[in-house]
Amino acid sequence: MNKEEIKRALRKIVKNPTAMLGFVLLIIFIIVAILAPIIAPPDYPIESNLKEVEDALDDFDLSKKTDILFYFNNYLNSEYQFIMMDYPDLMELKDTLTKYEKNEVSFDELYFLTSELASYYIIDRYYLNRLTENVNSALKELKREISRQENIYKEAIRIKTEIEKLENTSDNNFKKQAETLHKNIYKSYIKKINYDPYIMRKVTNRNEPQPPSSEYKFGVSGGRDIFYGVIWGTRTGFKIGLIVVLISSSVGIFLGSIAAYFGGIVDEIIMRITDIFLSIPFFLGAMVITTILGTGLDKVMISMTVLGWMITARLIRGNILQTKNEQYVLAAKAIGVSDWKIIIMHILPNTIFPVIIQASMRIGGLVITAAALSFLGLGSPQGYADWGSILSYSRDWMSPENWYIIVIPGVAMILFVLAWNLVGDSLRDIFDPKMRM
Amino acid sequence: MITYIVRRLLMIPLLLLAISLVVFSMGQLLGPDLLVSAYINPNVAERMTAEQLNSLKEKYGLNDPMPVRYAKWLSNTLKGDLGWSQVGKEPVLDAILNRLPYSIEIALWALFPIIGFSIWMGVKAAVKHNTFFDHFIRVFTLIGWSFPDFVFGIFILLFFYGVLGWFPPGVISVEGFQIMRSPEFTNYTGMITIDAIFNWRWDIFIDGLRHLIAPILTISYLWWAYLLRITRASMLEVMRKDYVRTARAKGVSEKNVVHKHAKRNALIPVVTVSGQFIIGLIMGVIIVETVFNRPGFGRLTANAAQTLDYSTVMGSLLFTSIIMIVGNLIVDVTYALIDPRIRLE
């Protein structure tokens, strides 16, 4: 595309009111998604010791140095005290496990050691039960648990050395060092307690909806703040749409171009596989795969990717078949350019536009499917900031006075999908006027 | 033409085999531990010891190599034995067949308004290209296209039931249900409105229809949007064709040009889409029956997925895939019958 064409395309967009609406909506959503932590700040958990450090650092003088060190050590003790104490025992268990696998130790010895550790609450009793039921899988689970604990221990040691380093820094550097350390430790704390800003926190334990107020601008549904969910849901929407479209389109482009370029038996096999996948109904198929893999946004995305590459593959195959016999491809072949280079450098750039347009038109539908899965309780986990799950809370409270729990997330979703559809539509109008609907 | 149909028919068993393989391998992702749950209640399975579980796995051949298991599963499936449905509390095939009438009822009722309305409006919008009516239709379809079906269903429920109290969820009122269960009412098909006509009970018919309108409206709106777009686009294309100009030139009235010459050819792409449309109805039914609380095939599937009832979910997938293959075949053959260009291949 040269400059002139880009100019012409831009003029067409500006002249077309629906296209402009789509782009403006999309830009608003992008801004909201980027600024989500500012518009609806997540409620990061507070750790009392780290909070003290933060306060001390806010108006710092050297007299507070001992305080800060004290609170850091206090944090270390309160969070990692047990793992420090348990570590030798865990190592012993690990030793015994490896010995058991080499048949150097009997099962009874292993069982005895495990039960002893379980009685001191070093490991969960669950593993003891597992050992009696199914030894092999229990061993696997135990190993996983030990390596998890080991990682925590390593983290504790890391923090400990960092604090010791801080103790030895000069007074000039102390404040700066302490600040970075505080940031560091706080990050590891967030990670340790598995805090995820995408999970809408519960603001109340009552299930009934609360109307919009100054504190909760869009009201409360299912005990969770709708405003927070709607804002962070934009990020979820983009995440689902873009990732699924990117991966599934790449798979489709890859398979479609191989099929078209090499032809013959390769083409036949790939296209028959495509046919088979096309005769699986998309929504039900996604439902089944999500059910099998278990709930979670990543599982939803996997299932939609698995079932979403076929149309792209067909499209790109058709396009390549058309361009395959063009003179520039034949010329490239004649001078001995390799097959892959011809596909990537010569054919794809000339055939990819329809795929990009089609991808942008698919995003809306994908977001709808993901939301529908969440609505059925199959998609994102409990409390995840996702429009579909916010709507699913409303199922038991459907009455006119609770309109806000339905209309607000619903409208957000419609506008998001509308934005993508309008953009895809106008892109198609511009680049492929024949297809205009 | 006949060779084409024969070729397509010969492809069907192969496709079915391939689909069964895909569905089977999806089930295999579960692993033998979870697969047991397709045969017995998971709550019971949890309390079983490892040995008992192993003997169960042995019994159902879950520890066999993959091809053996596939052969066993396939022979069972061909016999109609898809396993036990925990949600339906009966064998999977029975559970699906018993609930199907409710879903077919929605699909049947939705079919005519969808196709009739969208063809009528689509043709009209194309004839009145770039007028206010046309723009209105464009906006209408764009919004419909962006409306997630469950959101639209909830909106409908909120407005027509919550505010106006017209169309309640469910399939029939309590009184109607009692009449239906009484001896003088015979259930022929399991579809409430159809049975009511056969029994000449118009009160039941109206009762059933009242519960049907909101789901039909929900499914229809989204398909109106889609079919309208396609009818309008293809009609616009045909109206620019030479033969239409010729017809006009020789003095055929505008009405005849549109309805006799243009519309017929414009509807060819609409036929292709109707294949997707049958599938779309099945999918739409899953959402609509969940939103409007109707005990049909779609809700069975949704409930099964929610409670991790794998055998039912797999059965539904197999069932709909078969419908989809057969539906696509019918569409392709009709397409070949209508469009002479296809026959040459």
In a domain, A11, yes or no: yes
Per-window interface: B 212-241 vs A, CB < 8 A: 229-230, 232-233
- Tokens 């994908």 correspond to A366
Question: Does A155 share its domain with A248?
Answer: no
The yes-or-no verdict on residue A243 having pLDDT over 60 is yes
Q: Which sequence spans correspond to the domains of chain B?
A: 18-90, 91-344
Which pairing describes strands A220-221 and A224-225: parallel, antiparallel, or unpaired? antiparallel
Give which of B82, B85, B154 to mutate to test A binding, by max A Cβ within 10 Å: B154
Q: Span A56-69, mean pLDDT?
A: 77
Sequence-separated (6 or more) residues with CB below 8 Å from residue A187: none
The yes-or-no verdict on residue A436 having pLDDT over 50 is no
Per-window interface: B 88-107 vs A, CB < 8 A: none
Contact status, residue A420 vs residue A361, Cβ threshold 8 Å: yes
In a domain, A197, yes or no: no
Give which of A25, A270, A283 to mutate to test B binding, by max B Cβ within 10 Å: A283
Which residues in chain A touch residue B18, judged by CB atoms under 8 angstroms apart?
272, 276
Around Cβ A231, how many Cβ atoms within 10 Å? 23
What's the domain count of chain A? 2
**Torsion of the alpha carbons at A403, A404, A405 and A409, rounded to the nearest 10:** 120
The answer to whether residue B12 neighbours chain A at the CB level (below 8 Å) is no
Closest by CA to B175, choosing from B210, B200, B213, is B210
Confidence class of residue B8 from pLDDT cuts 50, 70 and 90? confident
Nearest-CB residue to A281 (from B154, B163, B282): B282
Q: Which residue has the higher pLDDT, B199 or B343?
A: B199
Which residues in chain A touch residue B282, judged by CB atoms under 8 angstroms apart?
281, 284
Give which of B118, B147, B151, B307 to mutate to test A binding, by max A Cβ within 10 Å: B151
The answer to whether residue B142 neighbours chain A at the CB level (below 8 Å) is yes
d(CA B308, CA A97) in angstroms, rounded, equals 35
Per-window interface: A 105-164 vs B, CB < 8 A: 133-134
The answer to whether residue A288 neighbours chain B at the CB level (below 8 Å) is yes
Which residues in chain B touch residue A304, judged by CB atoms under 8 angstroms apart?
none
Contact status, residue A57 vs residue A179, Cβ threshold 8 Å: yes
d(CA B168, CA B182) in angstroms, rounded, equals 23
Contact status, residue A259 vs residue A271, Cβ threshold 8 Å: yes
CB contact under 8 A, B29 and A293: yes
- Residues for chain A: how many in total? 437
Nearest-CB residue to A410 (from B151, B320, B324): B151
Average pLDDT score over chain A: 82
Residue of B nearest to A417 (CA): B146
CB contact under 8 A, B283 and A291: no
Per-window interface: A 217-276 vs B, CB < 8 A: 272, 275-276
Nearest-CB residue to A276 (from B15, B282, B316): B15
Average pLDDT score over chain B: 79
Question: Does A34 share its domain with A55?
Answer: no
The answer to whether residue A336 neighbours chain B at the CB level (below 8 Å) is no
Contact status, residue B250 vs residue B260, Cβ threshold 8 Å: no
- pLDDT of A416: 92
Q: What is the ipTM for the molecules in this complex?
A: 0.82
Residue of A nearest to B27 (CA): A292
In a domain, A327, yes or no: yes
Confidence class of residue A249 from pLDDT cuts 50, 70 and 90? very high
Secondary structure (H, E, C), chain A: CCHHHHHHHHHHHHHCHHHHHHHHHHHHHHHHHHCHHHHCCCCCCCCHHHHHHHHHHHCCCHHHHHHHHHHHHHHHHHHHHHHHHHHHHHHHHHHHHHHHHCCCCCHHHHHHHHHHHHHCCCCCHHHHHHHHHCHHHHHHHHHHHHHHHHHHHHHHHHHHHHHHHHHHCCHHHHHHHHHHHHHHHHHHHHHHCCCCCCECCECCCCCCCECCCCCCCCCEECCEEHHHHHHHHHHHHHHHHHHHHHHHHHHHHHHHHHHHHHCHHHHHHHHHHHHHHHCCCHHHHHHHHHHHHCCCHHHHHHHHHHCCCHHHHHHHHHHHHHHCCCHHHHHHHHCCCCHHHHHHHHHHHHHHHHHHHHHHHHHHHHHHHHHHHHHCCCCCCCCECCHHHHHHHHHHCCCHHHHHHHHHHHHHHHHHHHHHHHHHHHHHHHHCHHHCC
Question: Does A166 share its domain with A223?
Answer: no
Can you tell me whether residue B304 is helix, strand or coil? Answer: helix
Contact status, residue A136 vs residue A151, Cβ threshold 8 Å: no
Question: Does A266 share its domain with A128?
Answer: no
Sequence-separated (6 or more) residues with CB below 8 Å from residue A127: A114, A118, A138, A141, A142, A145
Which residues in chain A touch residue B145, judged by CB atoms under 8 angstroms apart?
364, 421
Which residues in chain A touch residue B142, judged by CB atoms under 8 angstroms apart?
18, 418, 421-422, 425
Which residues in chain A touch residue B25, judged by CB atoms under 8 angstroms apart?
none
The answer to whether residue B328 neighbours chain A at the CB level (below 8 Å) is yes
The answer to whether residue B150 neighbours chain A at the CB level (below 8 Å) is yes
Q: Span A354-376, mean pLDDT?
A: 87
The yes-or-no verdict on residue B345 having pLDDT over 50 is no
**Torsion of the alpha carbons at A96, A99, A105 and A106, rounded to the nearest 10:** 80
Nearest-CB residue to A372 (from B26, B143, B150): B150
Per-window interface: A 389-418 vs B, CB < 8 A: 391, 394, 398-400, 403, 406-407, 410, 413-414, 417-418
Can you tell me whether residue B91 is helix, strand or coil? Answer: strand
Nearest-CB residue to A291 (from B162, B287, B308): B308
Q: Span B71-94, mean pLDDT?
A: 81
Sequence-separated (6 or more) residues with CB below 8 Å from residue B311: B38, B39, B82, B83, B84, B85, B86, B92
How far is CA A40 from its chain centroid?
19
Inter-chain Cβ pairs, chain A and chain B, closer than 8 A: 134
CB contact under 8 A, B287 and A290: no
Question: Does A176 share its domain with A291?
Answer: no
Nearest-CB residue to A283 (from B161, B286, B306): B286
Contact status, residue A5 vs residue A156, Cβ threshold 8 Å: no
Which residues in chain B touch residue A398, judged by CB atoms under 8 angstroms apart?
154, 157-158, 161-162
Question: Does A180 share its domain with A119?
Answer: yes
Confidence class of residue B48 from pLDDT cuts 50, 70 and 90? low
The yes-or-no verdict on residue A251 having pLDDT over 90 is yes
CB contact under 8 A, B305 and A403: no
Task: Identify the domain containing residue A9 by its residue range.
Answer: 3-39+213-435
Question: Does A10 share its domain with A60?
Answer: no
The answer to whether residue B289 neighbours chain A at the CB level (below 8 Å) is no
Contact status, residue A55 vs residue A178, Cβ threshold 8 Å: no
Question: Does A178 share its domain with A238?
Answer: no
- DSSP code of residue B36: G
pLDDT digits (tens, 9 = 90+) for B171-197: 777 777 777 777 777 777 777 777 777
Among B156-160, B227-231, B336-340, the minimum mean pLDDT is found in B336-340
In a domain, A202, yes or no: no
In a domain, A414, yes or no: yes
Shortest CA gap B245–chain A (Å): 19
Shortest CA gap A274–chain B (Å): 11
The yes-or-no verdict on residue B31 having pLDDT over 70 is no
In a domain, A251, yes or no: yes
In a domain, A205, yes or no: no
CB contact under 8 A, B287 and A377: no
Question: Does A52 share its domain with A25?
Answer: no
The one-letter code for the residue type at A85 is M
CB contact under 8 A, A288 and B26: yes
Question: Does A182 share its domain with A76?
Answer: yes
d(CA B221, CA A349) in angstroms, rounded, equals 39
Q: Span A242-259, mean pLDDT?
A: 92
**Torsion of the alpha carbons at A162, A166, A169 and A170, rounded to the nearest 10:** 160
Confidence class of residue B340 from pLDDT cuts 50, 70 and 90? low
Question: Does A151 share its domain with A253?
Answer: no
pLDDT digits (tens, 9 = 90+) for A139-193: 888 888 888 888 888 888 888 888 888 778 777 777 777 788 888 888 888 777 7
Sequence-separated (6 or more) residues with CB below 8 Å from residue A220: A203, A204, A209, A210, A226
- pLDDT of A247: 94
The answer to whether residue A433 neighbours chain B at the CB level (below 8 Å) is no
Of all residues in chain A, the percent with pLDDT exceeding 70 is 98
- pLDDT of A104: 80
Question: Does A303 share its domain with A165?
Answer: no
Q: Which fold, B91-344?
A: MetI-like fold (1.10.3720)
pTM, to two decimals: 0.81
CB contact under 8 A, A391 and B150: yes
d(CA A225, CA A210) in angstroms, rounded, equals 9
Per-window interface: A 29-88 vs B, CB < 8 A: none
